[in-house]
Structure 1
Amino acid sequence: MRIEFYVLSSANPADRLRAACQLAAKGWRHGLPVLLRCTDAAQREALDQLLWTFRAESFIPHSLIEDDANAPVVLALDEEPDVQQGLLINLASNISPHVERFSRVIEIVNQEPDLLAACRENFRTYRQRGYDPKRVEL
């Protein structure tokens, strides 16, 4: 499994959501099923809206997991995904209980102190589980 921590230079939560949309679009264009794991219902709703509008020239086919668990891009909280070997974009502060079902995991980190601390812990936990997470500066 490939695990990457994409590090943003800002602490703005909106930048994190925009990065998630961009990464979801890239994964979808490369033919990967994408699961966006959100922190809570409010973040999931904001991301759902942003996926419709963040790029005027393109559309990203997406759905909430309860509406269509097999959409190219699925927005979820902790529900068990239908996909195997796809891309997990984790916006939650902890590691997904279903992480082993994915071939690639992206954690999006910003400079907000609580999130930074949680992501550092996730990085250590992945290492303890035998993975080799990488850091990517955005």
Structure 2
Amino acid sequence: MTRIDFYLLTSDSPALRLDYACRLAHKAWSKGHRVYLNCSDEEQLNAVDGLLWSFRAEAFLPHGLSADDPDEAVVCGTGEPPTTHNDLLINLADSTAEAFSRFSRMAEIVVEHDPVRLPARERFRFYRERGYPLQTHNIRTAG
């Protein structure tokens, strides 16, 4: 059964949410995991794609877009994840990710911004009602 981690950031910045997603993806990738970053729309997809190239000064995270490079270890997309990805799903969309239950783990990153926080609460209830193992992590941020 998919383990679901909610990362609760002490910030109201949606940009910080994306940065944290990149850090999680990098950590998982460095441990050999395949990662799918589920974005809400093309605008967010482009923002995440750009951040993955630049969020760390000393390195970038090799990745591809689901439509172009579905076999990369780290892939960003806006819908159904590539079938080759089953390790970590990072959900940045405001709805339940498609095929989330085939992943070993899923991360939901939440900031103190109602358009992000309120749908995340609904997803938390959805997962809890279905018996998924849930973990919450309170993350203090500077931003």
Give the TM-score of the pair, scaled to structure 1: 0.96
Rounded Cα–Cα distance in structure 1 between residues aligned with 2:126 and 2:72: 30
Which residue number in structure 2 is paired with residue 11 of structure 1?
12
Q: How far is 1:129 from its partner?
A: 1.4
Q: 1:1-138 alignment to 2 at 5 Å?
A: 1-138=2-139
The sequence identity of aligned pairs, in percent, is 46
CA contact 1:2–1:103 (8 Å) conserved in 2: yes
Following TM superposition, the consecutive aligned residue runs of length 4 or more in structure 1 with deviations greater than 2 angstroms are none
SS state of the match for residue 31, structure 1?
coil
Please say if residues 34 and 74 of structure 2, whose CA atoms lie closer than 8 Å, have aligned partners that are also in contact: yes
> Offset at 1:81?
2.0
Which secondary structure does the structure 1 equivalent of 2:44 belong to? Answer: helix
| Cα root mean square deviation, aligned | 1.0
Between the aligned partners of 1:83 and 1:101, the Cα distance in structure 2 is 11
Q: Deviation string for 1:87-118 (max 9, x for gaps)? A: 00000011112101200000000001121111
Counterpart of 1:29, as a letter, is: S
The structure-2 alpha-carbon separation of the partners of 1:36 and 1:80, relative to structure 1 and needing over 3 Å to count, comes to closer
TM-score (structure 2 length as normaliser): 0.92
Q: Which runs of 5+ in 2 are unaligned?
A: none
Name the CA distance, whole Å, in 2 between partners of 1:36 and 1:17: 10
Structure 1, gaps ≥5 residues long:
none
Shift of 1:70: 1.2
* Partner secondary structure for residue 106 of structure 1: strand
Retained in 1: the 8 A contact 2:36–2:81?
no
SS for the counterpart of 2:70 is: coil
Aligned length: 138
